[in-house]
Structure 1
Amino acid sequence: MNSPRRLARIAGVLYLLVGIFGGFAEGFVYPKVYAVGDAATTAGNVIGNSGLVRLGIVADLFNAVVWIFLAMTLYLLLKHVNKSVARAMVVLVAIGASIVCLNTVFEFEGLRAATGAINLAALGTAGSNALVLLLLDTQHYGISIAQIFFGLWLVPLGYLAYKSAGWFPRWLGVLLIVGGACYLVDLLAAFLVPDFGKEIHAFIWIPSAIAEISMVLYLLVIGVKTVKPAARRAALVAID
């Protein structure tokens, strides 16, 4: 575990798993069940895809757990650059992962309400459908709140990559910071100027996606470009 290249490859595998689990839950499952503002359709989708919803919940939980292990692995890899920044990265991931886990509670309760596991006869069909939509609305906006930390953790990661004295290319560090900023701009636009946020949403994600995919590929294919200790010390002095 002391080999930087081995740690980098482990981080690459974990990062890839985060992308797979998160992409499945947020990119495949949610769009199939959540209909904005339409309680009847949302409840019907949940009932018709109950097994898929359960898989999405499990995928979200795995995603959160793997994300924390990813941050811990990157901490071990990059703490020599700046231990305080590396710790901040882990804390931001822990907060974001906690929000993701909490959101699954609302999704699971929405599933239970839709499938009759909770007795909602007193509310009637319209009332129970409205409750399902409310729970999935809460889960949906909870993911938006978690997006704060999807973006914020990339900033210290990008800084550590930039300052890594040749372990990672500087352009990758800059790209990660820009990608993190784009996450935050997308979130702020969605809450402050919703109409404009919808227009830029499809484009503002592009730098973030490029940054994270580039990091995954670099970790998996190259790992890190290690240099001799004397050369690395000289590079760190030059950067400072």
Structure 2
Amino acid sequence: MEDLNKQKRAVLGLRIVYPLWAIIGIINLLYIPSQLIDKSNPALTAENILNNEWLFRVGIAGSLFTQLISIIAVWFLYRLFYDSFKEPVILTALFNFLGVPITMLSVAKQLEVLDVLDKPDQVIALLNQQTYGTVIATIFWGLWLLPQAYMVMKSPLFPKIMGWFLILAGIGYTLSAFLYFLGFKDSLLMEILDTLTMGEVIWMLWVLIMGARWKALEHH
């Protein structure tokens, strides 16, 4: 009974952190860059950041906070799956923890931007370096989903198709990172891989809306 309660608390935790993670991530990755950054126009980008420094700093803080949230999510996944899937859940944590410091160090490049706002070309160069670091971290964003997919598929708590969605997302993240550095960042294949990453969103929505199938444990 205690193990079951531990799992239920873990799922409840995921239902709290997943939407928080998604909302902050959307703000950091989509909204704030769309308001401030135009890499084809360095002067405008530098001016936007200068005039909206607080918003730019919020994006930096939010990016760091999402990495902390990801660690919390791993903790809940660990408590949910460890009793049945010790090695896969440890592998999930390992891949996640490798991606976190890479992402955080790349975000540090954004702080340097504030020191060179009078040099627009350097602003873009630093923002590009930050992007490159994030793309490298994307490899681990994908890899951590693969052992997670295995656990979801083998667990009676979730539909197997959720595991397949996680596999597609993992492939999408990991391969897109390599294609980016191979010079295919604007290709149709990259767009397809980006679409596959929505599999992670589908998994999060399932946990948020449906939770887990606790009755399935009675027949397992």
The match for 1:178 is 168
Is the counterpart of residue 137 in structure 1 residue 128 in structure 2? yes
The match for 1:151 is 142
- Structure 1 outlier segments of 4+, above 4 Å: 227-230
Pairing 1:44-83 to 2, within 5 Å after superposition: 44-83=47-86
Cα distance in structure 1, aligned partners of 2:180 and 2:94: 25
Give the unaligned 5+ runs of structure 2: none
Give the unaligned 5+ runs of structure 1: 115-124, 233-240
Q: RCO greater where, 1 or 2, for CA within 8 Å and sep 6 or more?
A: 1
Which AA in structure 1 matches 2:214?
A: T
Number of aligned residues: 217
Is the counterpart of residue 200 in structure 1 residue 189 in structure 2? yes
CA contact (8 A) 1:53 1:111 kept: no
**Secondary structure at the residue paired with 1:112?**
coil
**Greater CA deviation, 95-104 or 64-73?**
95-104
Which AA in structure 2 matches 1:46?
A: I
The match for 1:161 is 152
CA 1:9–1:82 in structure 2 vs 1: closer, same or farther (change >3 Å)?
same
- When normalised by structure 1's length, the TM-score is 0.82
CA root-mean-square deviation: 2.0
Cα distance in structure 2, aligned partners of 1:139 and 1:86: 29
The match for 1:105 is 108
1:217 to 185, 199, 205: 205
Deviation at 1:228, TM superposition (A): 6.8
Residue-by-residue CA offset, 1:86-123 (whole Å, 9 max, x unaligned): 01111111121212211221101102321xxxxxxxxx
**Secondary structure at the residue paired with 2:213?**
coil
Residue-by-residue CA offset, 1:38-62 (whole Å, 9 max, x unaligned): 4323322221321211110111011
